[in-house]
């Protein structure tokens, strides 16, 4: 391992010189293949912290898919239903627990995960590498790779795929620094341990948060810890299903993440599962087409006759009424927020996406209004008392 590593350029090609380095000691990473860039390493180090914490909190293998220093997806290794295998396009591979975690993380928001950086909490195995090999991705960070997995990954992008190995025992200094406009900022690292104790202060009439929901709330909170603020995260069945990052308004976070959660569930609609795609359609084209099909643009695309580029035959329209009827079946969703909800409108929007359980810091002057709105829908909400801003 080296003390410093020269990079091609910074965030943009005009930002030179660029490097990563340690003020003391050696870098805790080894580049096994490719030449990762500035943003690649920002994604790598943020995503590694996320999956390491998920593994510690749940005891399960974890994976994350990062784009521009925020997760597009994060998950733990829980077996997939046949429907999820189909919408994640992994029904042709024998899945390990780690591969399940990756399939969930990548499958949550396939549009946003295009060209992602991947993090795995455990040694990358052959099954997980097989799934990664067929996706458009910039790179991966993991504590190790089996020989077969490394061979598979080295074959990506004509041999240039970025593969980073990190020392899983590395512990960073307790004080971190960041330079902005020639001025150095200093702060203590956010070492907050996110666990079930944070969910003990349930302030709603409904005091029941089952174990699966507690797990999902913890997943959402750990995900938020490494998501650009403002942010909220919807989670279900061991994975994030909708992440709203970097919005100035809390309700816009809730709407953005809610729309992503809705899309995740709509992809499980029978009409979507039965779409008659043309043979050999490229994976990104298929993903884009599904997104258009379940969006308001669907009727326009079908009416214009461009459907022949993607489908063997013209599919039936998925109507607004059918979508709402299907979304009404989505239940028991968990929602975390990195700061307090200032108004009940966030709860009203969350309800439309099946939210039943909520974890947020509390502390708003309108907490009573937010609690009353939760009580109206028999939701259970815990005040964690902690904020999770990340910048």
CA 118 to chain centre: 10
Q: Exactly one of 33, 230, 263, 346 is catalytic; name it.
A: 230
Question: Contact at 8 Å (CB) between 240 and 108?
Answer: yes
Which residues on adjacent β-strands are paired with residue 300?
A: none
DSSP class of residue 195 equals: -
Question: Contact at 8 Å (CB) between 94 and 127?
Answer: yes
Q: How many CA atoms lie within 13 A of 44 on its CB side?
A: 25
Q: Exactly one of 33, 46, 52, 67 is catalytic; name it.
A: 67
Which residues on adjacent β-strands are paired with residue 236?
A: 239
Instruction: Name the token pair of 201.
Output: 């202060």
288 carries an active-site annotation = no
DSSP class of residue 124 equals: B
Separation between Cα atoms, residue 353 and residue 333, nearest integer Å: 8
252 carries an active-site annotation = no
CA 357 to chain centre: 19
269 carries an active-site annotation = no
Separation between Cα atoms, residue 239 and residue 149, nearest integer Å: 24
Q: Exactly one of 56, 68, 86, 252 is catalytic; name it.
A: 68
Separation between Cα atoms, residue 217 and residue 338, nearest integer Å: 12
Who contacts 42 (Cβ-Cβ below 8 Å, separation ≥6)?
Answer: 69
68 carries an active-site annotation = yes
Instruction: Name the token pair of 277.
Output: 């795609």
Tell how strand 355-360 and strand 333-337 pair up. parallel
Separation between Cα atoms, residue 224 and residue 235, nearest integer Å: 11
Angle between helices 97-107 and 126-133 (to 10 degrees): 20
Catalytic residues: 67-68, 230, 391
């Amino acid at each position: 391992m080296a003390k410093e590593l020269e990079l091609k350029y910074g965030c943009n090609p005009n930002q030179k010189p660029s490097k990563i380095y340690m003020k003391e000691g050696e870098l805790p990473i080894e580049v096994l293949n490719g030449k990762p860039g500035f943003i690649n390493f920002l994604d790598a180090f943020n995503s590694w912290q996320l999956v390491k914490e998920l593994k510690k909190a749940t005891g399960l293998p974890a994976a994350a898919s990062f784009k521009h220093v925020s997760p597009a997806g994060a998950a733990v290794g829980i077996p997939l239903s046949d429907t999820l295998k189909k919408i994640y396009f992994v029904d042709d591979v024998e899945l390990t627990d780690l591969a399940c975690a990756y399939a969930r993380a990548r499958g949550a928001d396939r549009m946003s995960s295009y060209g992602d950086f991947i993090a795995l909490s455990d040694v990358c195995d052959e099954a997980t590498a097989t799934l990664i090999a067929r996706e458009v991705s910039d790179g991966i960070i993991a504590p190790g790779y089996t020989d077969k997995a490394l061979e598979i990954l080295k074959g990506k992008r004509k041999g240039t795929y970025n593969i980073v190995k990190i020392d899983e025992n590395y512990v960073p200094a307790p004080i971190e620094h960041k330079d902005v406009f020639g001025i150095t900022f200093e702060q203590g690292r956010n070492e907050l341990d996110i666990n079930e104790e944070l969910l003990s202060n349930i302030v709603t009439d409904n005091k029941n948060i089952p174990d699966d929901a507690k797990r999902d709330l913890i997943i959402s909170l750990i995900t938020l810890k490494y998501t650009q603020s403002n942010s909220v995260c919807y989670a279900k069945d061991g994975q994030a299903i909708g992440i709203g990052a970097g919005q100035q308004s809390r309700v816009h976070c809730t709407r953005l993440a809610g729309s992503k959660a809705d899309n995740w569930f709509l992809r499980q609609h029978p009409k979507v599962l039965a779409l008659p795609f043309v043979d050999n359609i490229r994976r990104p084209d298929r993903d884009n087409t599904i997104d258009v099909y379940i969006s308001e643009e669907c009727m326009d695309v079908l009416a214009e006759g461009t459907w022949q580029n993607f489908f063997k035959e013209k599919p039936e329209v998925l109507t607004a009424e059918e979508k709402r009827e299907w979304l009404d079946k989505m239940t028991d969703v968990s929602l975390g927020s990195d700061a307090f909800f200032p108004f009940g409108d966030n709860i009203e929007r969350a309800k439309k996406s099946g939210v039943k359980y909520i974890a947020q810091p509390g502390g708003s002057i309108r907490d009573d209004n937010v609690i009353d709105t939760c009580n109206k829908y028999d939701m259970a909400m815990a005040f964690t008392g902690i904020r999770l801003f990340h910048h």
